[in-house]
Amino acid sequence: MSVTQQQVLDALAKVMTPRGVALTSANVLSAIAVNDGKVFFSINVDAAEARAWENVRAHAENAVRALPGVTTAMIALTAERKPGAAPAARQGVPPVSSHRPPHSPAGSPMARQAEIPGIAAVIAVASGKGGVGKSTTALNLALGLRDSGLRVGLLDADIYGPSVPRLTGIREKPELNDERKMIPIVRFGLAIMSIGFLVEEDTAMIWRGPMVMSAITQMLRDVAWGTLDVLVVDMPPGTGDAQLTLAQNVPLKGAIIISTPQDLSLIDARRGLAMFKKVNVPVLGIVENMSYFQCPHCGTRSDIFGHGGARHEAERLGVPFLGEIPLHVAIRETSDAGNPVVVSEPDGPHAAIYRAIATNVREQLKGVIAAA
Ligand code: ADP
C-alpha cells in the first residue's frame, strides 16, 4: 500500500514548531512530493531561526518515515537570510542540516566550509546548459579516475534531470544504515548516489535555489560515502543562483566545465568559468564534448561543429584544456544502455580519451589527495 499525501500531512500535523503551532500550520512547507513510497519536501525558514528548526526537521523526517509504506523520506531544511540581515554564521547559528551556513557572502565562502569526513577531494562537473553531455562525461571521468587506482564516488546533483540512474542502469533504492544515513549504491567500483534514486527521472521537479542547495547538502552529508579520494559531483546545468550557491557551499577542490564547440555553449561555458572564479574554486579545465563527428563505420573525422573552440577559449582564459571527446554513436548507445563506454569498451579509443582526462585531473589533485 502506497502512502498518500494526506497521510503525510496528517503525520506532520502532529509535529510542533517553535512558533507554537503545528508544522502544517506554520506556513513553511514546500509542496510535498509523494511518489511510490518516497516522500520529498522542504521546510523553509529564515536563517536566524535555523537552529530552532533543525529538531523540527528531524521530527518531521522520523514521523514521515514511521508511516507504513514510506521507503524514503528526504526533508530539507532551507534557510534564507533576509536581505540586509547578518550572515547566519556570524550570529552563531549553526548549519542547516549540514555543518555550514546555507549562504555565504561571495568572496569569503571557502574558509567556512567543512570538509566531508573521509573524502579527500570533491570536484564539480558543470556546464552552462543541459544536453552537452555533462553527465556522460562525469560518469566516464569518474571511471577513468577509478582506473587510475583512486577510490571514487559519483554524486548526481542534477536535481532537474538526474540521469545517472539511466547511465548506470541502477534501479535499486539506497538503504539506510544504523545512523540513518543513505548507503550509496556501488556499481562499476564507484560509490553512486543520485536524487534520481529517490524520484523518477521524468518527474518534473521544480526546486527553488535554496531547496536545491539543501537537498544536495543532504546528499553530500547524509550519505555514508566511506573513504574516497575523489567525489565527482554532476552539477545541475546552468550558471544561475542555484549553481552559484552550490559552488559556494560545497567544499569544492576544483571544477571541470563541459562544453560543445558551438559558440552558444562556449558563451555558457564562459559564464561557468566566471561563476567558479567568483567563489574561488579552481577550474581544473574545460572538456570539449561532441568535439567532432567520428563515423562509426570508417572512423573518418568530420569537424561538423567548427571544432577547437573550447581549446582556444581555454587558452584565452588561461585554464587547462583537458581534452576533446568525439560525437560517437558508441558513447551515446553505451551511456543510454547503462553501460558506460569506459566499462563496456575499456580498450577502445573513447575510454582512452576519458582516462587521459582523468589522469590530468588526478595530477592536478595530487597534493590534495596525498595530504588526505
Ligand atoms: P547533460 O548531462 O549535459 O544533459 P547527457 O550526458 O545526459 O547530457 O547527454 C545527453 C545525450 O547526449 C545523451 O543521450 C548522451 O548519451 C549523449 N552524448 C553525450 N556525450 C556524447 C558523445 N560524446 N557522443 C555521442 N553522444 C553523446
Beta bridge partners, 76, equal: 42
Which of ligand 1's atoms lies nearest the C-alpha of 137? Answer: 6
- 242 Cβ neighbours under 8 A, 6+ residues apart: 207, 209, 212, 213, 236
Digitized pLDDT (tens) for each residue of the chain, 372 residues in all: 689 999 999 999 999 999 889 999 998 888 788 877 888 888 888 777 777 888 898 899 999 999 999 888 888 777 665 544 433 332 322 333 333 333 333 334 443 467 888 999 999 999 988 889 999 999 999 999 999 999 999 999 887 788 999 999 998 888 888 888 889 999 999 999 998 887 766 665 666 666 777 778 888 888 999 999 999 999 988 887 777 877 887 889 999 999 988 766 677 788 888 889 888 899 999 999 987 787 888 878 787 767 778 888 888 888 999 999 998 999 999 999 999 999 999 999 999 999 999 999 999 999 888 887
| Residue of the CA atom closest to atom 22 of ligand 1 | 327
Listing from the earlier edge strand, what are the strands of the sheet with 72-80?
A: 33-35, 38-46, 72-80
**Shortest-distance atom of ligand 1 to CA 158:** 2
Nearest CA to ligand 1 atom 19: 133
Work out which ligand 1 atom sits closest to the CA atom of 132: 3
Atom of ligand 1 nearest to the CA of 289: 23
> Where are the strands (E) in the chain, listed by range?
33-35, 38-46, 72-80, 119-127, 152-156, 185-187, 190-194, 228-234, 252-259, 283-294, 301-302, 321-327
Q: Whose CA is nearest to atom 4 of ligand 1?
A: 131
Q: How far is the CA of 135 from the centre of ligand 1 (A)?
A: 7
* Cα 150 to ligand 1 centre (Å): 25
**Closest residue by CA, ligand 1 atom 13:** 332
Supply the DSSP string of 344-365, one letter for each residue.
Answer: HSTTSHHHHHHHHHHHHHHHHH
Instruction: Tell me phi and psi for residue 150, to 5 degrees.
Output: -90, 155
* Ligand 1 center–CA 266 separation, angstroms: 16
Ligand 1 centroid distance, CA of 132 (Å): 6
Rounded to the nearest angstrom, the distance between the alpha carbon of 186 and the centre of ligand 1 is 22
The pLDDT value recorded for residue 220 is 86
Q: Give CA separation, 243 vs 274, 313, 364, in Å.
A: 12, 22, 23
Pocket-forming residues, ligand 1, beta carbon under 6 Å: 127, 130-136, 163, 237, 289-290, 325, 327-328, 331-332, 335-336
CA of 277 to the centre of ligand 1 (A): 26
* Closest to 198 in 3D by CA, of 226, 221, 165: 165
Helical pair 263-278 and 309-317, crossing angle rounded to 10 deg: 30
Nearest Cα neighbor of 180 from 78, 69, 64 is 64
Please give the Cα distance from 116 to 248 (Å, whole number): 15
Phi (first) and psi of residue 249, to 5 degrees: -100, -25
Q: Assign residue 133 a region: left if phi > 0, alpha if psi is -120 to 50, beta otherwise? A: left
Task: Report the greatest alpha carbon distance in the chain.
Answer: 72
Do the strands 38-46 and 33-35 form a parallel or antiparallel pair, or are they unpaired?
A: antiparallel
Tell me the CA–centroid distance for residue 69 and ligand 1, in Å. 36
Map grid coordinates 585554464 to a residue. 319
CA-336 nearest atom, ligand 1: 16
How much is the pLDDT for 255? 95
Which atom, in ligand 1's list, is nearest to the CA of 290?
A: 23
